[in-house]
Structure 1
Amino acid sequence: MQTDTSTAVDGLDSSMVPMPLLAAAELQDHLMTVTNDLERLQRLLDDAGEALSAHFYSASNQVMSLLSGTEGGPAAEGLKHVMQDIAGAITALQFQDMATQLIAHTSQRLRNCSDQLARDTFGMDDEDGAAVVEIAPLRPNPVTQDEMDAGSIELF
């Protein structure tokens, strides 16, 4: 008679069977590596977002200056179109904010998994006290928007 190992091992629920230490250590290493990669991605996105914002605001200010110096005609119309294009491009900067929220959320979940794994597998409580496990996010997804449309944007 063969026992289904996915639900029971020697009469125990599979959630009660400890993960082999080597496998747990490797899994925790992978979780921490992914978390570190996400944090590095976060820094890259932050730098790109700051550079884009600075360039868009500079271009916008220059166009506004040129627009105030023109009396109308084709040049003024052309500058108004440039301002509309700049406004549309700034809308795309929402991506950085949404990506930042998703990365932080995912990093927090991964760190929670890694901390729980360490605590449950390695018994990380010591003379300093109980192991600290970062709380997992309560919401499944911090960003509900999955597309960007033109509109008024406030960058912070």
Structure 2
Amino acid sequence: MASPDDALQPAAAGLTAFAAIELQDHLLTVGNDLDRLQSLLADACTSLLQSFHGAHAQLHDIAAPAAESAAHAAIGGAVQQIGNAIVALQFQDMASQLIEHSHRRLRSCADQLARLTMPDDDDGPALVEEAPLRPNPVTQDEMDAGSVELF
């Protein structure tokens, strides 16, 4: 005679598979969100280029004959714009590294869930991309102009 636990096993297996599919869907959604964030960061870099062009224009104004105080103000503005652009470029690079690292880790988890919960197809078991070995590619949590840690 079958025990009550035997009757629950197929239902529990179905629930576990459903939970794994839901989790996989959430992981892939987060991966897509990270891709959109990467796009936003790329747009920010475009803005940085505009800032560099603004600094260039101000430095060009310095070369033209002007009063000493006007030249001093233009130099100060150019230096400020260049410093802001450098910090923003460093932030974008660090953020891109973190996004790519997180995206690879999420994709690996989603692939592993698919392999565990889905039957193999005609081509065999699903390929699973290895998760990154390092837990975090960027250890720096703050920065000033000119200081950034890259891996």
TM class by smaller structure? 0.7 to 0.9
Say if 2:58 and 2:74, in contact at 8 Å, map to a contact too.
Answer: yes
Structure 2 partner of 1:3? none
SS in 1 for 2:53: helix
- Picking from 85, 90, 93, the partner of 1:97 is 93
Flag as ranges the 4+ runs of structure 1 deviating above 4 A: none
TM-score, with structure 2 as normaliser: 0.80
Does residue 56 (structure 1) correspond to residue 51 (structure 2)? The answer is: yes
Contact 1:32 1:111 in 2 (8 A): yes
Structure 2 CA distance for aligned equivalents of residues 70 and 121 of structure 1? 73
Matches within 5 A, 1:111-130: 111-123=107-119, 125-130=120-125
Residue in structure 2 matched with residue 82 of structure 1 by the alignment: 77
- Write 1 or 2 for the structure with the bigger share of helix: 2
Kindly indicate whether residue 116 of structure 2 is the aligned counterpart of residue 131 of structure 1: no
Alignment RMSD: 2.4
Q: How many residues align?
A: 137
Alpha carbons 2:104, 2:132 under 8 Å: kept: yes
* Residue type of the alignment partner of 1:66: D
- State how far apart, in whole Å, the 2-side matches of 1:59 and 1:71 are: 18
Aligned to 2:20: 24
CA 66–152 in structure 1, closer or farther in 2 if over 3 Å, else same: farther
Determine if contact 1:63/1:79 at 8 Å carries over to the other structure. yes
- How far apart, in 2, do the equivalents of 1:134 and 1:35 lie? 14
Preserved contact between residue 24 and residue 121 of structure 1 (Cα < 8 Å):
yes
Residue by residue, what CA displacement relative to the aligned partner does 1:59-90 show, whole Å, maximum 9, x if unpaired?
01101110111356111111111122112211
Q: Does structure 2 retain, via aligned residues, the 8 Å contact 1:91–1:148?
A: no
SS of structure 2 residue aligned to 1:54: helix
Identical positions, percent = 50
**TM-score if structure 1 supplies the norm length?**
0.78
